[in-house]
Amino acid sequence: MTPFPVTVRGLGLGLPAGVVTNDDLAKTLDTNDEWISARTGIRSRRVLEDDKALSHIAILAGKEALEESGVDPNDIHLTIVATVTPDTFMPATACRVAAALGCHQSGALDLNIACSGFLYAFITACAQIKSGLAQNVLVIGGDTLSRITNWEDRRTAVLFGDGAGAAVLSAGGPGELLGYDYGAKGHLSEALQITAGPSRPSDNPTDYKTQMDGRAVFRFATAAMVDSSRRSLAMAQLPLDKVDLVVPHQANLRIIESAAKKWGLPMEKVCVNLDKYGNVSAGSIPIALAEAKKEGRIKPGHHILLAGFGGGLSWGSVVLKWGNLC
């Protein structure tokens, strides 16, 4: 692919204040810090207050990204909120978020492909920009997985958290989209699903909560993330040793370490923050990206690989050359 000029001008974080540690969970669940830490790397997660919804943290993240970008909210042409936990099914959460942020000239849509959501939204934003339909796109990935977790199921309850991250993408350099890849294998969807929904109602409340075959998702995850990255890097014509930083989906430290081994990259080049936040689904990659930027781990000219997987079962990856605008 010919490198396409698109620049991330601003990044933002929206994190709930409430922290729930592994020890907190062990008070009500048959689990313990040792098991959770050893099997997942997670030590705590954030949980949103009961009286707030996804839009609250999506707006926090979007506001920070807009401020950092210097882009006038009225110059945002599209707002995408990637999430599996919208405030409501109507309106789209993106409509509430765009209105609250003053993005009054912006189209607004929610995008649901679970944990791969931010990557799909990022690629969609680039397509809008490349087609000339948009100059600036606000991409937010966020989830309140605490709302769709069965807190009595120790196999899933220890994994998930709430949070949002945002990026403002603008047409033109100095940044570049070098490669991308996404896909889904719907025939594997039962490994990670919620069986009830608006057009498939159920009398059983747990049908509205996340159900997962952890081992099946684990097997899928590493291969999907690594294979997708290879396709993106091939499109970018970039060898792995030229990647400066990888921002992977934060589901399980063992999955990330196994992927790093297959990539042949040292863990110093791989972002990990799941110890603090657990798996935040569509929020996981933008939160890790924004934190890496704040920590000074991303410099102008760096080659950044974003890679993830999730419900669908789905995957995605993006290779960027980082611009120097934010």
Binding site for ligand UT7 (CB under 6 A): 31, 35-36, 39-40, 115, 154-155, 158, 192, 212, 214-215, 217-218, 221, 251-252, 279, 310
Give the up-direction half-sphere exposure of residue 241: CA atoms within 13 A in the CB hemisphere.
Answer: 0
Catalytic: 115? yes
- Residue 262 belongs to what H/E stretch? helix 253-263
Q: Which of 136, 279, 303, 326 is catalytic?
A: 279
Query: No. of H helices and E strands in the chain?
Result: 10, 12
Nearer to ligand UT7, 27 or 215 (CB): 215
Closest CA to 287 of 326, 321, 248, 261: 248
Structure tokens at 9: 């001008």
Q: Give the amino acid at 8.
A: V
Which residues sit opposite 141 in a β-bridge? 82, 165
The reply to whether 303 belongs to the active site is no
CB of 290 to ligand UT7, least distance (A): 19
Question: Is 15 or 158 the residue whose CB approaches ligand UT7 more closely?
Answer: 158
Query: Of 158 and 270, which CB lies nearer to ligand UT7 in the complex structure?
Result: 158
Query: Rounded to 10 degrees, what is the CA torsion of 241, 243, 249, 252?
Result: 30
Rounded to a whole number of angstroms, the minimum distance from the CB of residue 164 to ligand UT7 is: 16
Q: Given the residues 95, 115, 271, 326, select the one marked as catalytic.
A: 115
Of 249, 271, 303, 326, which residue is the catalytic one? 249
Say if residue 68 is exposed, middle or buried (CB neighbours under 10 Å; 0-12, 13-18, 19+): buried
Q: Is 279 a catalytic residue?
A: yes
CA gap 186, 191 in Å, rounded: 10
Least distance CB 163 / ligand UT7 (angstroms): 14
Q: What is the largest CA-CA distance in the chain?
A: 54
Query: Which residue number, 158 or 260, has a Cβ lying nearer to ligand UT7?
Result: 158
- Pick 286 or 310: Cβ nearer ligand UT7: 310
- Cis peptide upstream of residue 177 (ω within 30 degrees of 0): no
Using Cβ positions, the residue closest to ligand UT7 within the complex turns out to be 214
Least Å from the CB of residue 251 to ligand UT7: 3
Q: Smallest gap, in angstroms, from Cβ of residue 310 to ligand UT7?
A: 5
What are the catalytic residues? 115, 249, 279
